[in-house]
Chains A and B, each alone.
Chain A
Amino acid sequence: MAKKCRQNAALIALTTSALALPGINVKAEGAPDYTSVKYRYTSYAEDKAPEKYTVEGDLERYEIQANQIQLIQPIGERAAITLDYLSETMSGASPWGVKQGADNQPELIMSGASIEENRQDIGARLKIYDQESSISFMGGYSRENDYKATYGGLDNELHFNQKNTTVKLGLRFSLDTINPTQQEGQSRVSEEEKNSASYNLGVTQVLSQTAIIQAGLEYVQLSGYLTDPYKLQDSRPDVRKQTVVSFGYRQFIKPTDSALHLDYRSYTDDWEVSSHTVNIAWYQNFGDRHVIAPSIRLYNQQKAKFYGVYYDENSATEYFSSDYRLSSYQAMSYKLKYIKYFDTWSFTVAGERYESAGSQAGGSLDEIENPGLVSFTRWTVGFDIKI
Chain B
Amino acid sequence: MNNAFPIFVLTLIIFVTLPAPANSAKIGDSLPITLPSLFDNKKMISSNQFKGKVLYVDFWASWCLPCRKSLPQLNELRKRLTSNGKGFEVLAVNLDGKPSEALEFLNKYPVNYPVVYDATGKYPKLYGVRGMPTSYILDPQGRIQYVHSGFKNSDIKKIEALVHEMLP
CA distance A201 to B15 in the complex (A): 13
Quick check: B22 and A8 within 8 Å, CB to CB?
yes
Q: Is A22 at the interface (CB under 8 A from chain B)?
A: yes
Quick check: A24 and B158 within 8 Å, CB to CB?
yes
Quick check: B18 and A5 within 8 Å, CB to CB?
yes
Which residue from B1, B150, B152, B158 sits with its C-beta under 8 Å from A268? B1
Q: Is A211 at the interface (CB under 8 A from chain B)?
A: no
CA distance A161 to B15 in the complex (A): 9
Quick check: B24 and A167 within 8 Å, CB to CB?
no
Q: Is A344 at the interface (CB under 8 A from chain B)?
A: no
What's the nearest-Cβ distance from chain A to residue B64, in Å? 9
Q: Is A23 at the interface (CB under 8 A from chain B)?
A: yes
Instruction: Knowing A25-B155, A161-B18 are in contact, say whether A19-B24 is a contact too (CB < 8 A).
Output: yes
Quick check: B15 and A160 within 8 Å, CB to CB?
yes
Instruction: Knowing A21-B27, A21-B144, A22-B147 are in contact, say whether A167-B131 is a contact too (CB < 8 A).
Output: no
What's the nearest-Cβ distance from chain B to residue A72, in Å? 14
CA distance A245 to B1 in the complex (A): 9
Quick check: B25 and A19 within 8 Å, CB to CB?
yes
Quick check: B147 and A23 within 8 Å, CB to CB?
yes
Quick check: B152 and A21 within 8 Å, CB to CB?
no
Instruction: Knowing A203-B12, A217-B5 are in contact, say whether A27-B66 is a contact too (CB < 8 A).
Output: yes
B133-156 contacts to A, CB under 8 A, are 144-155
CA distance A163 to B18 in the complex (A): 11
Which residue from A28, A160, A217 sits with its C-beta under 8 Å from B150? A28
Residue of A nearest to B145 (CB): A22
Q: Is A11 at the interface (CB under 8 A from chain B)?
A: yes
**A 215-254 binary contact with B (CB < 8 Å = 1; else 0):** 1010000000000000000000000000101000000000
What's the nearest-Cβ distance from chain B to residue A22, in Å? 5
Quick check: B27 and A245 within 8 Å, CB to CB?
no
Q: Residues of B at under 8 Å CB distance from A?
A: 1, 4-5, 8, 11-12, 15-22, 24-27, 65-66, 69, 130-132, 144-155, 158-159, 162
A-B contact pairs, 17 of them (CB 8 A): A6-B19, A21-B144, A21-B147, A23-B149, A24-B158, A25-B148, A27-B131, A27-B150, A27-B151, A28-B152, A29-B131, A201-B8, A203-B12, A205-B15, A243-B1, A245-B8, A268-B1
